[in-house]
Amino acid sequence: MTRQLHRIVVADPAVLAAAAADRLMARIEANNNRMAICLTGGSSPKRLYQLLASEAYAKRIPWDRVHWFIGDERFVPPSDARNNMATARGIFLDRLAPKDNIHPVPTDAATPDESAGRYERELKSFYGADDLDPARPLFDLVLMGVGPDGHTASLFPGYPALAETKRWVTGVPQAHVAPFVPRVTLTLPSLASCREMLFEVAGEEKRAILDKLSKDESLPANRARSIGETVLLVDKAAAGE
C-alpha cells in the first residue's frame, strides 16, 4: 500500500486490537458532538469488538452520542452467522449501544440494490445532506480489512462497484471470495468521507496479499483512502518481520 498511508507494525493480534481500540477512543474524545463510526466485517475486527465490550473501554464510550454503521454487509438475514453487523451486535452493540444508534444494512429488501438504496438514504438522512462535503466528513472512523484478493469492504478487484463515483452504497450481486453471497457495500467516495480510515491486517496468511498490495496500486485496498488520515495497523506475522 502506498500514498498517504501511515503504516504501524505491532507485535501480534492482541496488541493490534488494543492499538485499534485506542485510536477509536482518540477519535471519540476528539469530537464532542454526535458522531459516526463505520464498522467492518470479517474476522479481523472481532478482538477489537471484544475490547470495546470490556469494562475498561465500555465505561469510557459516550454511548448516547456514538452511532454505528457498517461498511459492507453480506446479503443474508441478521439471524445468519455470516451477517457482519450481527457479529458486532452480538459481541458489544446490543448490550451497550442504544438501539437507535445501531444502523444495520436492511437485508430484508428484495435485492442487494434495493437494500443499498435504503442504506444510502439512511446515511444521507444521518448526514443531513445529499452531497458529501470534504470539510465535514461523514464518519469519524472507518474500519477496514483486507481480503486475500486485495478487496476491502465488498469492493472486489475489477468489479463495477469500485468505479462508482455517485452512489454512496451499492449492491454487489456476486462475491469474488467466500462467503459467496451477494453483498451491499459502501463505495470509495462514502468510505473516504472520514477523519480516519483504519485497516487492521494480522496473521501470516495476509503476508502474500500485503506483498501484492505494495506492487499493485490498482487493487481495491490501495484505492480506499480517507480524505483525512489512513492508517494500516499490521502485525509482525503479516508484515513478514
For ligand 6PG, the binding residues (CB under 6 A) are: 40-44, 72, 74, 84, 145-147, 151-154
Residue whose CB is less far from ligand 6PG, 65 or 236: 236
The CB-of-147 to ligand 6PG minimum distance in angstroms stands at 3
Residues 73 and 154: their CA atoms lie apart, in Å, by 8
Residue whose CB is less far from ligand 6PG, 61 or 210: 210
The CB-of-22 to ligand 6PG minimum distance in angstroms stands at 20
**Three-class HEC string of 52-90:** HHCHHHHCCCCHHHEEEEECEEECCCCCCCCCHHHHHHH
Residue whose CB is less far from ligand 6PG, 62 or 173: 173
Residues 188 and 179: their CA atoms lie apart, in Å, by 22
Residue whose CB is less far from ligand 6PG, 36 or 175: 175
The CB-of-32 to ligand 6PG minimum distance in angstroms stands at 30
Residues 141 and 206: their CA atoms lie apart, in Å, by 23
Q: CB within 8 A of 225, min separation 6: which ones?
A: 3, 4, 5, 192, 197
Closest CA to 16 of 202, 205, 152, 142: 202
The CB-of-42 to ligand 6PG minimum distance in angstroms stands at 3
Cell of 23: 485510536
Contact 126, 36 (CB under 8 A): yes
Residue whose CB is less far from ligand 6PG, 135 or 178: 178
Residue whose CB is less far from ligand 6PG, 27 or 151: 151
The CB-of-123 to ligand 6PG minimum distance in angstroms stands at 17
The CB-of-209 to ligand 6PG minimum distance in angstroms stands at 9
Q: CB within 8 A of 61, min separation 6: which ones?
A: 25, 28, 52, 96
Contact 79, 104 (CB under 8 A): no
Cell of 94: 446490543
